[in-house]
Amino acid sequence: MTADANRLAYLEAMGIDVWRERGAHDASDTAQALEQGPDTASDIPLLNWVELQQHVASCKSCGLHETRTQTVFGVGDPNADWLIIGEAPGQQEDRRGEPFVGRAGQLLDQMLLAVGLNRKSVFIANVLKCRPPNNRDPAKHEAEACRHYLERQIELINPKIVVAVGRIAAQLLLASDAPLGRLRGRQHSLRDGALPLVVTYHPAYLLRSPSQKAKAWQDLCLARQIVAEQR
């Protein structure tokens, strides 16, 4: 039995309630999984939030670990109703370890504020946890290597809505090659229909094409309506 498992056993024997994150599991399960080899797909569904962060930080599942400054796990409330998912970290995100920074991040913050949200009340993540060199599009095998991490994040957060930001994120999440214009404006779903998903434009695109901001506003209003209907 590991030291953590011993500590939990002692606390429980003393009648002391042990706080666990939503989706947490018994420490012995984690220890057993890690003994079989860390960072494997079979381990990831057993990890709690902190353990998942640690696995992502040390991940070497694809070649992107060779060029990253650091991984970008995500930011915000791990119990949020809204999960915002982008494509991959850029240069500034790779440097700071936080998704959606710079001008695009500032615009995303303004978009969230427009529907009564902010960076601390949602959770913001990317499909990829490492920056592709020169900000190129993610390769299929890179997205697949990170998919287990994102799926576990979704499971632990258990959001009421996912907002896919940008074409790449939307296509990867929905396993579609349809253009973003055909994907936005309606409700999709993940997890066998249990989790609603809405697609919208990436803030970086909106900075280049401000005339599309009205459509992005419509997408966020749709997401807000979907969440309101669940209450």
**In the predicted structure, residue 6 carries a pLDDT above the cut 60:** no
CB burial of 45-76 (b: ≥16 within 10 Å; e: otherwise) equals ebbbbebbbebbeebebbebeeebebbbbbbb
- Name the band, by pLDDT with cuts 50, 70 and 90, for residue 39: very low
Average pLDDT over residues 79-105: 96
136: Cβ contacts below 8 Å, ≥ 6 apart? none
Contact 86, 165 (CB under 8 A): yes
- What rounded mean pLDDT belongs to the chain? 87
* Distances 213 to 41, 75, 144, 186, 201 between C-alpha atoms, Å: 38, 24, 31, 17, 8
- Rounded to 10 degrees, the C-alpha dihedral 208/212/214/216 comes to -90
- pLDDT over 70 for what percent of the chain? 82
For residue 5, the model assigns a pLDDT of: 52
Compute the average pLDDT of residues 98-118: 96
Output the CA–CA distances (angstroms, integers) from residue 51 to 25, 82, 172, 230, in the order listed: 11, 22, 25, 30
Q: What pLDDT does 143 receive?
A: 94
Name the architecture of domain 69-229: 3-Layer(aba) Sandwich (3.40)
Tokens encoding 192: 């066998």
- pTM, full prediction: 0.82
- Number of other residues whose CB lies within 10 A of the CB of residue 143: 21
What is the structure's pLDDT at 231?
Answer: 78
Q: Span 92-121, mean pLDDT? A: 96
Do the Cβ atoms of 122 and 80 come closer than 8 Å?
yes
d(CA 231, CA 225): 10
Average pLDDT over residues 24-47: 56
Per-residue model confidence (pLDDT) at position 55: 95
The string of DSSP codes covering 26-79 is -HHHHHHHHHT-TT-TTTGGG--HHHHHHHHHT--SSGGGGT-SS----EE-TT
pLDDT tens, residue by residue, 8-26: 444 454 444 444 444 444 4
Query: Cβ(35)–Cβ(114) under 8 Å?
Result: no
Domain segments of the chain as ranges: 69-229
pLDDT in tens, 189-224: 999 899 999 999 999 999 999 999 999 999 999 999
Query: Under a CB-based contact definition with an 8 Å cutoff, are residues 227 and 161 in contact?
Result: yes
